[in-house]
């Protein structure tokens, strides 16, 4: 058994993972099973001076927007080539784009987020 706040460590070392929120298990299973909590093939991290426009466009494209601290993220329901991603945000100033696999960090943030603002 491993107890840690280091999600990269848990992702590398654990075959079964439990996520706690306020002392209660909100999700548990293998990393593969927990990835099903986020209906995305990959996560797109974006920096832009036009976040509202980027979020509106992402929603039009069927991407789920999320804020991770100061970072703006979009869940992509399918793998897209970088050129296609840029084309889908045409007219919106994008300072940077980073594609990431769905990681335990994303799952943890989703399972423990405050849903009052949904």
Q: Which long-range contacts (CB under 8 A, 24 or more apart) does 111-117 make?
A: 111/19, 111/21, 111/26, 111/27, 111/37, 112/19, 112/21, 112/26
**How far is the C-alpha of 93 from the C-alpha of 54, rounded, in Å?**
9
DSSP line for 42-76: EEEEEEES-HHHHHHHHHHTTPEEEEETTEEEEEE
Predicted TM-score (pTM) of this structure: 0.82
Rg (CA), the chain: 15
Which CATH code fits 39-101? 3.30.70
pLDDT tens for the chain, 118 residues long, are: 888 889 999 999 999 999 999 999 999 999 999 999 889 999 999 999 999 999 999 999 999 999 987 889 999 999 999 999 999 999 999 999 999 999 999 999 999 987 765 5
- All structural domains of the chain with their residue ranges: 1-38+102-118, 39-101
């Amino acid at each position: 058994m491993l107890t840690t706040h280091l999600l990269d460590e848990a992702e590398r070392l654990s075959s079964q993972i439990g996520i706690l929120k306020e002392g209660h298990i909100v999700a548990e299973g293998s990393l593969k099973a927990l990835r099903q909590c986020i209906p995305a093939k990959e996560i797109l991290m974006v920096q832009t001076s036009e976040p509202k426009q980027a979020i509106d466009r992402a929603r039009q494209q069927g991407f789920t927007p999320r804020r991770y601290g100061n970072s703006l993220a979009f869940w992509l329901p399918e793998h897209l080539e970088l050129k296609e991603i840029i084309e889908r945000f045409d007219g919106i100033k994008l300072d940077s784009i980073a594609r990431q696999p769905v990681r335990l960090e994303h799952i943890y943030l989703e399972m423990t987020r405050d849903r009052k603002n949904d």
